[in-house]
Structure 1
């Protein structure tokens, strides 16, 4: 895998990932851009003990541009974009409107800076593609980028957790239609991860066993919620799924993060993941909006408890209906699901 590091006109880092060593990545960003914004501000919610990030500069981020003005397309004569090259395989660059960054102002005025990093991952140069339509070699390149960034971002000062994810579909709130994901390097451990690790620790103290491995083993044994599987991964609907269609993909070997995956595990994941995404798209005959979220162990705490897995979920509950976070979910965090997880799994198994 060829990895080429360059910089955009405002100094932000951009990295090309190519399967071929002869890829020419000498194109230069010719735009005139303002300097990147400084780090966001962290504020502590004293009632919940959780961090909230205030990033007011993101209010000005690009919002649903016409397809011929997409900033994630390759650059063309007279139309420079965020990617200077006229073509690419997979590319990662610092977000122009980051939630977290290393650009900390000298005078903080007592504020806690949102140090870290926010990156964009472009999965394909094809504006009309989707992750589900990528060939397996391209998925492998994306996984190489995820693993590379996980390893590198984990070494940045102040970073406590690395989160690779994709938001797909206008129904989810995506502001750019081009197939892409993001990576956040957080300066704290996120609330969901803290909660999962707390439950896993209690389970280990009580039973001496690993919580995630026990969940995987029970789902594989029951089979009723398994959507698809191979020798190295299993995809299943969790027993207490919060979303109408939610699938978790677990490797059979306990690993802390993406960087720890073997080549065989990456290839096996690619096959299974694309299969599950295609099943989701076939379910209602329309592209399924979804959030795809990699859960990785934190950088310096709880790594012995963490278990790499991917959570994939959609807000679509029927062909013409979406699930919205209403009072119980949004205000109280108490989810109510309209679809039995066993029924969701059965429908996904049948979507061949």
Structure 2
């Protein structure tokens, strides 16, 4: 385990943000003992679900009888492509508005209402990855910033239990991407090296926070993690955006995703909630050599299937704070089985 078992702060080099680590608040013995969450088993098909094959959505459109993934334009998208120009107003410098144009899509991972990513086969997960890539490639021809993400579980605000993700694409560079871009570029300018490539080497040598590694991907609890079981999934190859993934890299990615999400579920024997999203190089950069494709997983659970970490108070008004060190979290995830707990039921 890490020697940093005292109150300290760690800096996130991707954002410049700091996280306060307070391991003394969590120093009682804890081996990651499981607690069962809801025992409810969803059916393979729900005739009331707007995402199941053949069912009608709120837009009075019926879904096709799809067999693997299914993509449709979000019926309640946060972005629209035909947004009118903002009328300039005479306002103070601190009052600003800008037009936001874009498109939002929903990606159903499978026709099976009950199966989340870890319960799909590697072949089925690769079809999801293929769908992510094809939609990214299509939308990036029109929009410079394309976000592929998933909110899993009601605790993360997911309104539909049918396993699905989303793609939001827009003209502007989103705040998170802009901050990462600045920090990645600054690091390369200063050192003439790629920050995430360097970080991969560091973590592979250290091994303490590595959860999974194969030929093309590394899964790690980042040193600067803010959420209890936060992970970072990074391409080992010089891949800068999702459109560049090869067949071999996607097959390797399906393995990484299956093992990571299975380990998540096995920590508390529940369908582990999270928000995850891919960060690709923006399409409007002249030089994107400082980028490396990666995905962030932000799960909220802390001690059981029903106890979550609340980012409130100090976290909202000062900076992120965690009790469980990144090294302890990594040890718990590494110890979790790679065989899904439901297979033993």
Q: TM-score range by the shorter chain?
A: 0.7 to 0.9
Is this contact kept in 1: 2:73–2:106, CA < 8 A? yes
Which of these residues, 201, 209, 218, is aligned with residue 217 of structure 1? 201
1:185 matched to 2:169: yes
Tell me how far apart the structure 2 counterparts of residues 83 and 305 of structure 1 sit (CA, whole Å).
Answer: 44
The answer for the alignment partner of 1:304 in structure 2 is: 289
Counterpart Cα distance in 1 of 2:249 and 2:184: 24
Contact 1:72/1:83 (<8 A) preserved: no
Give 1:94's aligned residue: 73
> Which residue of structure 2 lines up, in the alignment, with residue 104 of structure 1?
83
Structure 1 pair 202–231 and aligned structure 2 pair: CA distance change class (3 A): same
CA distance in 1: counterparts of 2:135 and 2:56, whole angstroms: 30
- Structure 1 residue 88, shift from structure 2 partner: 2.7
Higher fraction of strand: 1
- What is the aligned length? 283
Q: Which stretches in structure 1 are left out of the alignment for 5+ residues?
A: 1-65
SS at match of 1:114: coil
Q: How does 1:18-29 map to 2 (within 5 A)?
A: none
TM-score under structure 1 normalisation? 0.76
Deviation at 1:154, TM superposition (A): 0.9
Match of 2:47 among 68, 71, 91: 68
**Does residue 116 of the first structure (1) align with residue 102 of the second (2)?**
yes
Query: How much does 1:328 deviate?
Result: 2.7
CA root-mean-square deviation: 2.2
Q: Is the 8 A contact 1:248 1:310 kept in 2?
A: yes
How many Å apart are 1:84 and its aligned residue?
A: 2.8
Q: Which residue of 2 aligns with 1:11?
A: none
Q: Greater relative contact order (Cα 8 A, min sep 6): structure 1 or 2?
A: 2
Rounded to whole Å, the distance in 2 between the matches of 1:286 and 1:120 is 24
Task: Tell me if 1:174 matches 2:153.
Answer: no
Change (3 A) 1:143 1:82: farther
Deviation at 1:261, TM superposition (A): 0.8
- 2:269 paired with 1:290: no
- Cα distance in 1, alignment partners of residues 167 and 56 from structure 2: 29
> CA offset at residue 67 of structure 1?
4.8
Structure 2: runs of 5+ lacking an equivalent: 1-44, 89-96, 338-345
Task: State yes or no: 1:138 paired with 2:124.
Answer: yes
Change (3 A) 1:80 1:95: closer
Contact 1:71 1:82 in 2 (8 A): no
Residues 294-320 of structure 1 show CA distances to partners (whole Å, capped at 9, x for unaligned) of 111101125222210111120001113
Q: Which residue of 2 aligns with 1:323?
A: 309
Deviation for aligned residue 1:287: 1.3
Residues 250/82 of structure 1: CA separation in 2 closer, same or farther (3 Å cut): farther
The equivalent of 2:321 in structure 1 is: 336
CA distance in 2, matches of 1:221, 1:176: 41
Contact map agreement 2:278 2:296 (CA 8 A) in 1: yes
Distance 1:76 1:336 in 2: 44
Cα 1:257–1:77 shift into 2, 3 Å: closer
